[in-house]
Amino acid sequence: MNYLRFLRLVRDKGLSRTSCPPLPRRRQLSHGSPTAFSLKAVEDEYPVGRKLHGFTVRTVVQVPELSSTAVHLSHDGTGASHLHIARDDRNNVFCVGLRTTPSDSTGVPHILEHTTLCGSAKYPCRDPFFKMLNRSLATFMNAFTASDFTMYPFSTQNVKDFRNLLLVYLDAVFYPRLRQLDFLQEGWRLEHAVVDDRKSPVVFKGVVFNEMKGALADRDRLFAQHLQSHVLPSHTYSHISGGDPLQIPDLTWQQLRRFHSTHYHPSNAWFYTYGDFALDDHLKTIDEEILKRFDRIEPKTFVPDEVRWHFPREARVTCRPDPLVPNPDKQTTVAVAYLLENITNMPECLTLHVLSSLLVEGPNAPFYRSLLEPNIGSGFSPATGYNNQTKESIFSVGLQGIDCEDVGEVVALIDKTIDDVIRDGFPKERIEAVLHGIELSFKHETSNFGLGIIMGLAAAWNHGADPIGMLQINRQLGDFKEQLRRNPQFLTEKMKRYFRDNRHRLVLTMTPAEEFDADAKTAEDRLLQHKLSELGESDRENVYRQGLELNEKQNEPEEDVSLLPTLTLSDIERTVTFTDLEHATIGGVRVQSSMQPTNGLIHFRGVIDCRDLSSKLKPLLPLFSQVVTKMGAGDVNYRRLAQRIESKTGGISMSTLIAEDPTHPDLFEEGLCLYSHCLEKNSEEMLALWAELFNGANLSDVGRLRTLVSDVLVETASGLPDSGHSYAMTRAASTLSPSSALKEKFQGLEQIKTLKRLAKMDKLDILVEQLQQIAQSLMTKDNLRISVNATDRYMPKVREHLSGFLSSIRGNPAGSAPKTQVSIFYRSEILRCRRLQTALFVFDSRTRRS
């Protein structure tokens, strides 16, 4: 899988439009004491300089930001780096990463990632990764190809399962079979369209070949790829690591094997483990299975710095027209991009991250005000913001959905905005809000916390950054604040250096071309004819026979997978850990509370029952959930509201919810899910913000609403290329049950059509009236229920604040249902709303830990 695509999926699914974010759950200490992962305990076991299993301990540091202790080691024989994060978390993670720098666009790193998963020396069965799915309790298994590295992570809560997966992963990465048939299947091949019909035309086939045809058909991804290639043109980033379909057929099986021998070597690798399993066992397995069999080499994978330009540059590219845009005449995209700093320079990267947040995030950001609010385009250009996934980071900003005649105006607005910021600086409260958000993000624990850490470390660690230094965000923030204190002009000076005075500046314009798809097809046909012209009679016969052989291999009976490691019943815990929950009624509203080690955060979640909302208004619920928190409340305009939300919380959000009854496919619940979290000290302010939205959501600002409708349409439509299969499945299922029909309206093609229709409207007065009707109907406590997580120390205060919140909002709830009837699923109106009372609760009182 493409690494940036994965990050996009994580971003999108982290706060799904149809589900609420999971709340953190209590973890049990596996080492018998709350200090099991303290600095002293780990230092005693792994003192600096200690040698074990071929490794030497280099650094041991406590990381209070992560409630953990980090151990950094290096392997004496190969030089491989290993980072272990000892933390009280049952969801243990392993990852091996390698610097894989392509010198062309044949997609060799991407195809190699695929073919390593087709069997290895110890496990020669086809697709051992997929075969392990039903032999494992893994909570995550995958592999990713980025622009300059490849990584193979997994996570599990079971000790035996961890070792099993570790053995399979290590053998797959360092001892893959790399058979020619696997290369032909996963990479590219010539094959008859009908495999066993010699008279059918010969065509290109291959998993990666077809995957990249689809990937580069995505306008957003195409623009981002062009941006990177043009800003960093002199080395590996000028190439497409995933592969260009017109260059993938230049790759040979022999070249793939050579790339593996030079890049998939322990001297070019870094290892990561996380969680509460013993580090000693990890090191022993990694050394005995892999590292002790290799000698150190000097990998020739270094990425040189880009030669800086003396003058800015411009570039123009084309794309296919977008049938989803409201105005077909406004399909041009333009962005201005700047090459910034080496990502191993952590202080500068933090500064640039802060600058990017200040410049583009939220309605108070200068670029938001100068580019989005005039409604020149439909939204920010793809890749807007700070990108630290290449050795030298990039900042870009621009607009999509503009008229081609407006390119000059947009570029001039960008330059003017930069000059204005340098002249006026940033408001102090905005800087404090951004820093607050960074601190809060490190406290926010999720079920895939360990995986998230390595995703954040990978790019810079790949280029030699100190991984432990990157974890110490408190120290970096302290240094940053000290810089601001000593020099009030600190940020404006950085703006001058990195933006106004930066000659390494690119203006990239992308315009639609009606002939784009036809030209791509012509180029592919020309390449195919060239390949066919090089074939002799024996070569053509070989194409036919290889196709038959591969087809036979793909359709042969299931292999014997007994050689793969597996779990037995004795390896699985026989007890299930339940979460302790308390149920109460506060102000007539049902409240579920759970005391958890939340790292000083309060997690608030609520559900508003929407079953009585009129069928005419229901299709607008997804839009309502996206805009109601961004329009202002009462006398507070949307800018001030956004500032308060940013300063006091980690964000306030709503999303649509469809909860199906697992025992009755035509019974379900629909509603709005509310979510926010904050520091303990800000819980009263967070609930006060919710109260303002409940009591006086301001939905009458037509200009603001038009901007948000455009934003929502762009964001929703941009996910279509990656999720086309999901949209097709949702559409196909929409006739099978009432809940599936509603999913199509809320998150399928019907929702995109609704948004497109709204974006085309000259006047939004009717839409404003409809959104106000939704707010009047739903934003009360009549159909509300709440869940809250907090520490046991702070829970009494949270309940006190909840009482104040509920007493301040509209509504007259009938009271809580009996404990055995805490959730109500119901059929749609066409099924006469038959109701089912059950012991299931959206926040299940017997939630299994994961």
What is the CB neighbour count within 10 angstroms for residue 446? Answer: 14
Evaluate whether 84 touches 73 at the Cβ level (below 8 Å): yes
CB 49 within 8 A of CB 57: yes
DSSP secondary structure, 24-85, as one string: P-----SSSSTTTTSHHHHHHHS-TT-EETTEEEEEEEEEGGGTEEEEEEEETTT--EEEEE
Element (H, E) at 321: none
Q: Known catalytic residue: 493?
A: no
796 and 583 in contact (C-beta within 8 Å)? Answer: no
Distance between CA atoms of residues 847 and 24, nearest Å: 11
**Residue 186 bears catalytic tag:** yes
Token representation of residue 843: 């926040």
Radius of gyration of the chain (CA): 28
Strand (E) or helix (H) holding 92 = strand 92-99
CB 250 within 8 A of CB 104: yes
> What's the per-residue H, E or C state across 457-514?
HHHHHCCCCCHHHHHCHHHHHHHHHHHHHHCCCHHHHHHHHHHHCCCCEEEEEEEECC
| Largest interatomic CA distance in the chain | 85
Q: Choose among 727, 645, 43, 788: nearest CA to 324.
A: 727
CA–CA separation, 482 and 474 (whole Å): 12
| Inter-residue contact 579 to 595 (CB < 8 Å) | no
Distance CA 735, CA 732 (A): 7
Rounded to whole angstroms, what are the CA distances from 39 to 66, 68, 74, 471, 512?
Answer: 13, 8, 19, 15, 57
Instruction: Retrieve residue 266's tokens.
Output: 């322990």
Q: CA 782, CA 668: separation in Å to the nearest integer?
A: 19
The answer to whether 37 touches 64, Cβ cutoff 8 Å, is: no
Contact between 310 and 504 (Cβ < 8 Å): no
- Which position among 113, 211, 392, 445 bears the catalytic label? 113
Q: Which DSSP string do the residues of 799-840 spell out, in sequence order?
A: HHHHHHHHHHS------PPPGGG-EEEE--GGGTT-EEEES-
Phi, psi of 241 (to 5 degrees): -65, -30
Query: Which of these, 184, 144, 178, 139, lies nearest to 157 by C-alpha position?
Result: 139
Task: Give the helix, strand, coil percentages of the chain, each rounded to 5.
Answer: 45, 20, 35
Query: Are 116 and 132 spatial neighbours (Cβ–Cβ below 8 Å)?
Result: no
> Could you tell me whether strands 589-595 and 784-790 are parallel, antiparallel, or unpaired per DSSP bridges?
parallel
3-state class (DSSP) for residue 777:
helix
Tokens coding 404: 């081609």
Indicate the Cα dihedral angle 52, 54, 57, 63, nearest 10°.
-90
Question: Which pair of tokens denotes residue 140?
Answer: 């995550």
Cβ-contact 176, 116 below 8 angstroms: yes
Bridge partners, 176 (sequence order) = 120
CA–CA separation, 63 vs 37, rounded Å? 10
Closest by alpha carbon to 850, among 156, 16, 161? 156
E strand or H helix that includes residue 209? helix 207-215
- 186, 361, 392, 660: the catalytic one is 186
Provide the annotated active-site residues.
113, 186
